Amino acid sequence: MNIASILNYLYQNSKSLIDWEVERSHGSTRIKKWNLPSPQPTEEELAEVESSAEYLAWLTAKRSVRIDGKTDAAIISLLHPSAGRGEEAGITRNALVFLFNALGIEPPEDFAAYNAIAIAEIEKAHIEKDAL
């Protein structure tokens, strides 16, 4: 049983190590410190929550968010380790420019202005990097 995870679910506004603390020792886990106004949950209550559909759905959602974060970080680092999120925007801008050109249409004014600003900033960054 992951008591810390269950407590995070039950008391979502609480802070681990401040409001409560879990201790792991000799293969078992227990609540070591409890500073919340509500009564400390019993082992039975924790086990009941652990098997509930709501907790399992919450846990799946949390894991999904973590996976999304890892995926974003992997994509960003593979695109260009020092470029970060700007590189994602650059790829999107380039794809839109390609699409506008392929369709033979003028981009919207706000996109054209944004793209011009981005290109100018990128060129300034290249000059600054070349000077390193």
pLDDT (tens digit per residue) in 54-109: 999 999 999 888 888 787 776 666 655 555 556 667 778 888 999 999 999 999 99
Confirm whether 42 is domain-assigned: yes
Residues 7 and 48 in one domain: yes
- Range name among 15-19, 64-68, 96-100, 128-132 with the lowest pLDDT average: 128-132
Confirm whether 122 is domain-assigned: yes
Q: How many domains does the chain have?
A: 2
Q: What percent of the chain has pLDDT over 90?
A: 52
Residues 7 and 47 in one domain: yes
7/23 Cα distance (integer angstroms):
13
In this prediction, residue 76 carries a pLDDT of: 63
99/108 Cα distance (integer angstroms):
13
Range of the domain at 119: 83-130
In this prediction, residue 85 carries a pLDDT of: 59
Confirm whether 77 is domain-assigned: no
CATH classification at residue 31: 3.30.56.60
H helix or E strand, kind and range, residue 85: helix 85-103
Confirm whether 39 is domain-assigned: yes
Give the dihedral sign, CA 18/23/24/29: negative
Task: Reply yes or no on whether the pLDDT at 45 is more than 80.
Answer: yes
